[in-house]
Each structure stands twice: as structure tokens, then as C-alpha cells.
Amino acid sequence: MNPLLTLMQINDSVFPIGGFTHSYGLETYITKGLVHDSKTAKEYAQTLLEHSFYYNDAAFFHKTWQLCETKATKKKVAELDALITAFKAPYEIRDASKKLGIRFLKLTEKLQPVKRCSAYLKAINTQELHGHYAMAFAMFAHAQGISYTDALSAFYYNSLNGIMTNCAKLVPISQMDAQQILFKLQPLINKLVAAQPALEEDLIGNCCIAQDIRCMQHEKLYTRIYIS
């Protein structure tokens, strides 16, 4: 199989895992008027990537990739899964990570079974493990021979693309503005990907307090379009 084409497929916004149903707290920011135009949408996206995603899902991706490289034991996988579950304090975010992870694993199982992914899915279904999308994505991408830099860059881009898609719908901003923001933030993604391996162990899971609060507040919004 072609690693590049595989990466494009599993990272496509229409890859049917339900990512479009989650805003990860963005809906709260927009409801409160904190994100209200293209300028604030860009600021929100940049802040989220630099101060939340870098320390959390991207870091979890990196840790999973390391486990795959060293052919780590089931115990190590279970420890990382438990750690991520503990770090994801807001219920909606924790649940979203599980749902996306399960759907991703079920779909990729039909595309090309991977032993590690199959074992992870089985452990989730038997409730031995919680399940997380970052781990599932890294496991499958690693097994497909996709390079670390390409896989992590795509993982960052997928998150950013989801943010801008939601901004276009909710703020709203124009599709052109959304695409310009995506393009302008490419250097930031490159910077974060390059810095990811050097992230100190003690900083993994670093809490972006405002983001967590908005995610928690989303549970009680009077009107909600997104699940999270």
C-alpha cells in the first residue's frame, strides 16, 4: 500500500469516524462571544494548538509512537491509556476521545487489520481500557509505514481543520477566511511537530484551564449543535 495515500485517507475530514460532531469547547467560546470573527478564530486556533494540543493529544500521539517503536508490552499500552484518561478531565472530551478511537479502530480493521490495533480495540470493548483516538491513530499510522513527521503533521492539521470547519459554520466566517487561517498556521504546525520529541515528560498533559472550563460549560449550554 502507498503510505501517503493511506495517510490522506485516514486523515480526510470525511473519514467516517464522527469527528464533525465535536467542537471540543469551541461552541462555548462562540456562544459567549469570545470567538466572533476571523481574527478571534485564528487566535483561538493558534492558542489551542500551542497551549493544549501540543501538551495533550499530540504528546499522547508521540508517546504511543514510542511504544510502537519499542514494541512495548500490553502493560505499557494500558498505563498510557489510563494516564490519558486521567488527563482528560472534562467528561465530553474524554468521551469524544473514546468514541473517535473506537470508530477509527473499527474502520481501519476493515481496511487492513493491525495486530496492535485489534488488541487495543478488544481491550476497549471488554472495558479493560478506556480507548483514545490519539493512540489509535498513531498505532495504525505506524503500522502503515508512514513517517513520524508526516503522521504527526497530519494529526495536527486534522485538528486545525476541524476547528476551522466549525468556525465557518458557527461564527460564521467565510470558507476563504478559514482556508487562509489554515494556510497561515502551517509554519506553527511545522514548529510544534519539530519540537514534539523534546517535550519534557513532566509537561505532558499540561492543563489549558480555560479550554477545560469551556468544555465543561458546554455540557450545560441551553442550545447545543455539537456533542462536545
- Tell whether the model's pLDDT for residue 20 goes beyond 80: no
Spatial separation of the C-alpha atoms in residues 128 and 134, rounded to whole Å: 18
Pick the range with the lowest mean pLDDT from 11-20, 62-71, 181-190: 11-20
C-beta atoms surrounding 20 within 10 Å:
14
**Residue ranges of domains in the chain:** 3-8+21-218
Spatial separation of the C-alpha atoms in residues 84 and 196, rounded to whole Å: 17
CB 44 within 8 A of CB 160: no
- Tell whether the model's pLDDT for residue 207 goes beyond 90: no
In which residue are the cell numbers 485538528 written? 159
CB 22 within 8 A of CB 228: yes
pLDDT of residue 50: 96
| Percentage of the residues of the chain whose pLDDT score is greater than 70 | 100
> What would the mean pLDDT of 35-60 be, rounded to a whole number?
96
CB 76 within 8 A of CB 67: yes
Tell the burial category of 88 from Cβ atoms under 10 Å away from its Cβ (0-12, 13-18, 19+): buried
Cα radius of gyration (the chain): 17
pLDDT of residue 223: 81
CB 95 within 8 A of CB 103: no
Report pLDDT digits (tens) over 80-134: 999 999 999 989 989 999 999 999 999 999 999 999 999 999 999 999 999 999 9
Spatial separation of the C-alpha atoms in residues 176 and 184, rounded to whole Å: 12
| 95 against 21, higher pLDDT | 95
CA torsion 7-11-15-20 (nearest 10°) is 180
User: Is 3-8+21-218 a CATH 1.10.4190.10 domain?
Assistant: yes
